[in-house]
């Protein structure tokens, strides 16, 4: 595996490292794949991808994955499928970072991570800019991140 700590093509936003390993432009828009390395207890707010199905392929670490009110753990060797239009989020557990592949079909959402890293947008100060970019990428925020489990 590539070292996401040193890879020059990695983009960093909110301490998460993102590397697009298959851009939508290389698939005629059919899909994209982002290799990501997320620190313990990190995870996005609840959200919906309106236009794309999302698959996580877990490589290292464990995530609590919340999909439409149901929560489960996903660890190395497992995958998670989230149909488009389904509210979801995840949080890396406290023990270790999580490296996972994020596969969007169709592709294009990788542009959101590129934009966020480029602009170094902060949460919550720059939330209007984050929401605006999210809308352009067909993503709606629907709630807060998961609370760390006790
Ligand atoms: O969009 C944000 O996060 C993500 C959404 C996904 O559907 C998959 C992902 O892998 C991520 C991610 O790794 O971050 C997001 C939006 C706003 C925010 O404050 C975040 O911390 C993440």
Phi, psi dihedrals of residue 78, rounded to the nearest 5°: -110, 165
State if pTM tops 0.95: yes
Nearest-CA residue for ligand 1 atom 19 is 44
77 CA distance to ligand 1 middle (Å): 21
Pocket lining for ligand 1, CB < 6 angstroms: 14, 16, 36, 38, 44-45, 54, 102, 123, 130
pLDDT confidence of residue 150: 85
Nearest-CA residue for ligand 1 atom 11 is 44
Q: Does domain 12-140 have CATH number 3.40.718.10?
A: no
43 CA distance to ligand 1 middle (Å): 7
Averaged pLDDT score across all residues of the chain: 98
HSE, CB side, 13 Å, CA atoms: give it for residue 132. 7
Average pLDDT over residues 7-30: 98
Nearest-CA residue for ligand 1 atom 17 is 44
pLDDT digits (tens, 9 = 90+) for 41-99: 999 999 999 999 999 999 999 999 999 999 999 999 999 999 999 999 999 999 999 99
129 CA distance to ligand 1 middle (Å): 14
**Could you give the maximum distance between any two Cα atoms of the chain, in Å?**
44
> pLDDT over 90 for what percent of the chain?
98
Label residue 38 by pLDDT band (50, 70, 90): very high
Does 121 score more than 90 pLDDT?
yes
pLDDT confidence of residue 77: 98
pLDDT confidence of residue 101: 98
* Contact by Cβ (8 Å): 18, 12: yes
> For residue 115, which of 97, 132, 90 has the smallest C-alpha distance?
132
Q: Which of 18, 44, 57, 65 to mutate to test the pocket of ligand 1 (most atoms within 8 A of CB)?
A: 44
Q: How many CB atoms lie within 10 A of CB 49?
A: 21
Quote ipTM for the complex: 0.96
pLDDT confidence of residue 100: 98
Q: Distance between CA 138 and CA 149 in Å, rounded?
A: 29
């Amino acid at each position: 595996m590539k070292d996401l700590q040193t890879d020059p093509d990695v983009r960093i936003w909110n301490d998460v490292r993102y590397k697009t390993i298959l851009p939508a432009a290389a698939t005629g828009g059919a899909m994209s794949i982002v290799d990501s390395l997320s620190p313990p207890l990190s995870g996005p707010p609840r959200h919906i991808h309106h236009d794309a199905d999302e698959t996580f392929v877990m490589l290292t670490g464990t995530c609590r994955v919340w999909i439409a009110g149901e929560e489960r753990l996903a660890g190395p060797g497992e995958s998670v499928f989230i149909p488009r239009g389904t509210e979801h989020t995840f949080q890396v557990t406290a023990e270790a970072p999580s490296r996972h592949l994020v596969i969007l079909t169709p592709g294009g959402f990788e542009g959101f991570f590129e934009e966020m890293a480029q602009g170094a947008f902060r949460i919550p100060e720059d939330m209007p800019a984050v929401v605006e970019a999210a809308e352009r990428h067909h993503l709606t925020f629907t709630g807060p991140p998961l609370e760390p489990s006790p």
